[in-house]
Structure 1
Amino acid sequence: MTQDNNQEKTQEINELDKSAEQAPAADAAQEPAAPLTPEEKITALEAQIQEHQDQFLRAKAEVENARRRSMEEVAKAHKFAIEGFAENLLPVLDSLNAALTDSGSDSAKMKEGIELTLKQLISALEKGRVIEINPIGEKFDPHRHQAIAMVPHEQEANTVVTVLQKGYLIADRVLRPALVTVSQPK
């Protein structure tokens, strides 16, 4: 039996060798029989170049269109960003126009109307994130205050004593610094 087993194994090995020899022949049958001529290679490469150029131009155009669209959106945002703020100011404008057309001579009513208009204006500014800086008693901050003078005072040095003109912030950015006088060191 060992001889039969050896013969079977030998036969199996021979079959494996034959199939391994036939595999490259099968691969060769799938490849083109004749190699490409230089002209055919050039034509194929030119077609590939044309395809890559077309893809490049399409990608470039797509990027350019995206850039143009984003620039238009930014321009629109800048153009119409003030729209909400302007809408908040319109009632103030209406009140001022009404005050100018009023022919009454009652100064108490005029003062009351001006105070109401001022409240409307302050409300409109707050809605637009414009906040008043009124720093009396605060430490001097050169980023938010502009010192006009130093005066002798009982307060600690570099403390705001008087506000000559209020300052304003817009979204935590100084729109106008407050004009102040500051206490000088003793």
Structure 2
Amino acid sequence: MQNNESHAPEPVQEGTLPGDELAAEFDALTGKLAAAEAELGQMRETVLRERAELENQRRRLQRDLDQARRFANEKLLSELLPVYDALYSGLAVENSDLDKMRHGIELTLQALNKVADGHGLKIVSPLHQAFNPEHHQAIQAIDSNEHAPGTVVSVLQKGFVLNDRLLRPALVVVAKDAD
């Protein structure tokens, strides 16, 4: 025979109600969620601050680079000012003989060479040296019994090297075998 009696729920002891457990678990999860949201909010704020700081650093760096480019030659040009002054002073002299003028030009050229040398500019003047195609440009080759073939016999225009990089080759005349 079948038992058709309805089953009554078993009596629940006080304090262990399933609703109470669910509510406690829900409260615990809600607390964890709130803590996680707070931590996420702090992390977002930190990320935003760091992004802003990186953007500020990028802008500062760009500004500093722009300033460096604009004033990179400031030291060189300030050192050239006395050379300008000497040239203008030489032009201002009205009654000067050729020897005095030549001496003034030589002193001005020495000052210019000193400034150039201080900034890594070297003059290429290869008179009586072997022709070097890396630093010289041969304009002409002449027959010569006095000089060995491939020797520079005349410099038409001096060359310049800046910190081991060729700026302008020296224009030279090179000796070739007279035969």
Q: What TM-score do you get using the length of structure 2 for normalisation?
A: 0.69
Q: Structure 2 unaligned runs (5+)?
A: 1-23
| Change over 3 Å in CA distance of 1:134–1:46 after alignment to 2 | same
Q: Hey, what's the Cα distance between the residues in 1 that align with 2:64 and 2:123?
A: 32
Out of 94, 99, 121, the residue aligned to residue 130 of structure 1 is: 121
- Please point out which of 157, 171, 180 is paired with 2:172: 180
Given the superposition, is the C-alpha separation of residues 61 and 145 from structure 1 closer, same or farther in structure 2, using an over 3 Å criterion?
Answer: farther
Matched, 1:65 2:53: no
- Residues 1:52 and 2:43 aligned together: yes
- Equivalents in 2 of 1:139, 1:157: separation in Å? 9
Bigger drift between 153-162 and 134-143 goes to: 153-162
Alignment check: 8 A CA contact 1:88 1:127 kept: no
Q: Distance in 1 between matches of 2:171 and 2:153?
A: 11
Q: Could you report, residue by residue, the CA deviation over 1:49-75 in whole angstroms, capped at 9, with x for unpaired residues? A: 333222222112222222222222223
Amino acid in structure 2 at the alignment position of 1:62: E
**Higher share of residues assigned helix:** 1
Q: Which amino acid aligns with 2:79?
A: N
Q: Deviations over 1:128-163 (max 9, x none)?
A: 222111122334333322222333445555443322
Q: Which amino acid aligns with 2:52?
A: A
1:137·1:161 contact (CA, 8 Å) conserved in 2?
Answer: yes
Counterpart check, 1:166 vs 2:158: yes
Shift of the 44–156 alpha-carbon distance from structure 1 to 2, 3 Å rule, reads: farther
| Deviation at residue 104 of structure 1 after TM alignment | 0.3
Percent of residue pairs identical: 39
Q: Deviations over 1:77-135 (max 9, x none)?
A: 33223222122211111111111211104222222222222222222222222211112
Number of the residue aligned with 2:65: 74
Structure 1 residue aligned with 2:135, among 125, 144, 152?
A: 144
Aligned match of 1:120: 111
Q: Distance in 1 between matches of 2:176 and 2:37?
A: 82
Measure, in 1, the Cα distance between the counterparts of 2:34 and 2:89.
82
Task: Please report the TM-score for the alignment, with normalisation by the length of structure 1.
Answer: 0.66
Whole-Å separation in 2 of the counterparts to 1:67 and 1:156: 60
Where does structure 1 lack aligned partners over 5 or more consecutive residues?
1-32
**Structure-1 residue corresponding to 2:100:** 109
Aligned counterparts of 2:171 and 2:66: Cα–Cα separation in 1: 35
Number of residue pairs the alignment of both structures matches: 154
- The residue that corresponds to 1:26 in the other structure is none
